[in-house]
Amino acid sequence: MIEIKGVHKSFGDLQVLKGIDLEVNSGEVVSIIGASGSGKSTLLYCINAIETINSGKIIVDGVDVHNKKTDKNKLRQNLGMVFQQWNSFPHLTVLENAALAPRIVKGFTKKEAEEIASKELNHVGLGDKLGEYPTRMSGGQQQRLAIARALAMEPAYMLFDEVTSALDPELVGEVLDTLRLLRDDGMTMICVTHEISFAKEVSDKVAFFHEGQIEEMGSPDQVLDNPQRERTQQFLSKVL
């Protein structure tokens, strides 16, 4: 379970997160929606300690993420992250991309790592591209590679930061299909997304962010179909 309690985060004078409280239980899919700059992505980066926090606590499976003594590298093995710009490693093949971390972080042999990697790559539909270099593939394929690469570390949680925002429209579907697959597998997921209908379809919980705070949170029906707060209504009327 991931517990986020009273988290504040500033970049210099700019306050980005102003007191976030959120709980994500095992197997849940939580979607985070909101305008750009409302702090959604920053929250994800705070969960896996890519960013520090100014106050509050984030606890993943009982471990305080931002405690000085916490081994953050070890923590990140359990939190898979996929970015808006897939960030595939251009100097490695698809298979090598996914097998690298299992090999050098978890200590698997090359063969073992490649087995794990190919399993995940097959799962996301890239089984026939193992020897290709990412730069030769479409954005949608590279994004699925990024997902498989994160899955190869066998994390308990997956964090998705607007993973379809940088894709051409016709490629969005294949990535959303992959996310649906993961949901059906029972993966615990936090998705920052602009795809409202997708959020409604897969999520157990939806949180609407506004200027660094959670304005409204609840089930998809509650937040997306019957928003109580005015700002939520305004945001949804703009995007739908």
Partner 1 sequence: MDNYVFHWNVVFDAFPQLLSGAFTTIHVSVLSMLVGIVIAVLLALGKMSNSKILYHISNVWIEIARNLPALFLIYMAYFGLGAYGIHLSPYLSVFSALVFINAGYLAETFRGGFQSIPSTQYSAAKSLGMNSFKVYRYVILPQMFRRIYHPMTNQFVWSILMSSLGILVGMNELSGETQRLQSTSFRTLEFFIIAAIMYFVITKLVLLVSGLISKKVFKGELS
Q: How far is it, in rounded angstroms, from Cα 1 to Cα 152?
A: 20
**For strand 29-34 and strand 188-192, is the pairing parallel, antiparallel, or unpaired?**
parallel
What minimum distance in Å lies between the beta carbon of 217 and partner 1?
25
How many helices (H) and strands (E) would you count in the chain?
Answer: 9, 10
Of 27, 91, 225, 233, the residue at the interface with partner 1 (CB under 8 A) is: 91
**List 12, 62, 69, 73, residue binding partner 1 (CB under 8 A):** 73
Residue 78: HSE in the Cβ half-sphere, 13 Å Cα cutoff: 16
Burial 11-48 (b: 16+ CB within 10 A, else e): eeeeebbeebebebeeebbbbbbbbeebbbbbbbbbbb
Segment 108 to 137, residues that bind partner 1, using CB under 8 A: 133-136
Residue with smaller CB distance to partner 1, 80 or 227: 80
Site string for partner 1, 23-52 (x = CB under 8 A): -------------------------x-x--
Among 40, 144, 149, 205, binds partner 1 (CB under 8 A): 149
Q: Which of 120, 107, 172, 179 is nearest to 149 (CA)?
A: 120
Of 85 and 213, nearer to partner 1 (C-beta) is 85
Give the number of residues written for the chain: 240
State yes or no: residue 150 binds partner 1 (CB under 8 A).
Answer: yes
Q: Which residue number, 92 or 236, has a Cβ lying nearer to partner 1?
A: 92
**Residue 206 buriedness (CB in 10 A; 0-12 / 13-18 / 19+):** buried
Region of 20-28, 98-106, 122-130, 213-221 interacting with partner 1 (CB under 8 A): 98-106
Q: Which stretch binds partner 1 (CB under 8 A): 18-26, 71-79, 112-120, 211-219?
A: 71-79
Q: Indicate whether 74 belongs to the interface with partner 1 (CB under 8 A).
A: yes
Could you say whether residue 236 binds partner 1 (CB under 8 A)? Answer: no
Cβ distance to partner 1 smaller for residue 54 or 77: 77
Q: How many residues bind partner 1 (CB under 8 A)?
A: 31
Q: Distance between CA atoms of 152 and 101, rounded to whole angstroms?
A: 8
CB of 16 to partner 1, least distance (A): 17
Cβ–Cβ < 8 Å for 239, 194 = yes
CB atoms within 10 A of CB 207: 25
CB of 231 to partner 1, least distance (A): 30
